[in-house]
């Protein structure tokens, strides 16, 4: 049991380091396509954290929806909005704005970190039991049936809206 816990912790910190590094590259990278590829690393790492939390269905959904669909959508978006003139447009705001954004980010991290440390100090996750897909679907189709239906209507509306917006008249 203890050995498994050590292995879990090592896996957590390795994946967490990958996620943080990838996320930093996403927001600082000078190349749009590279930023999208770093995003793949972040999203895959998050899926790994779900596996560590024994949430297998969410992990698989993450891979299917985020890695399979959303990243491809982003790549299409990048491709279709490339400047025809050839010269690379400025991707970042001017330096003073970037410094301001960095200060805001660090302050926010400080406040949230203190709040989390204060509220959940030493709280153990408990024995992580595998949350099986059947249980998730039972919960989804009983307790959360109405929100599920609403989400499907929202998705349909968003799809139709996207097609209407992007259609070339």
Partner 1 sequence: MLVNQFLFLGAVLFCIGVYGVLARRNAVLVLMSIELVLNAVNINLVAFGAMWHATDPANLSGQVFALFVIAVAAAEVGVGLALVLMIYRNRQSIDLDEVDLLKG
Q: Angle at the Cα of 35 (from 19 to 99), degrees rounded to 5?
A: 80
* Structural element, H or E, at residue 136: helix 133-140
Angle between helices 71-80 and 32-52 (to 10 degrees): 170
| 47/69 Cα distance (integer angstroms) | 15
The token pair at 169 is: 């008249």
44 binds partner 1 (CB under 8 A): no
Among 10, 14, 34, 109, binds partner 1 (CB under 8 A): 109
Among 10, 14, 34, 113, binds partner 1 (CB under 8 A): 113
Among 14, 34, 112, 149, binds partner 1 (CB under 8 A): 112
Draw the binding track, 65-94, toward partner 1 (x: CB under 8 A; -: no contact): xx--xx--xx-xxx-xx-xx----xxxxx-
140 binds partner 1 (CB under 8 A): yes
154 binds partner 1 (CB under 8 A): yes
């Amino acid at each position: 049991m203890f050995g498994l816990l050590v292995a879990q912790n090592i896996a957590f910190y390795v994946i967490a380091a990958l996620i943080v590094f990838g996320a930093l590259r996403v927001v600082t990278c000078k190349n749009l396509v590279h930023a999208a590829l770093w995003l793949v690393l972040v999203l895959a790492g998050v899926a790994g954290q779900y596996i560590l939390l024994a949430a297998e269905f969410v992990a698989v959904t993450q891979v299917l929806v985020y890695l399979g669909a959303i990243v491809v959508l982003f790549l299409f978006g990048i491709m279709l909005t490339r400047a025809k003139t050839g010269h690379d447009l400025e991707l970042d705001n001017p330096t003073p704005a970037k410094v301001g954004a960095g200060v805001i980010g660090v302050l926010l991290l400080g406040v949230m970190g203190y709040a989390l440390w204060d509220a959940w100090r030493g709280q153990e996750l408990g024995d992580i039991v595998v949350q099986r897909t059947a249980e998730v679907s039972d919960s989804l189709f009983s307790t959360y049936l109405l929100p599920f239906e609403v989400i499907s209507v929202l998705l349909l509306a968003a799809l139709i809206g996207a097609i209407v917006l992007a259609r070339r008249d």
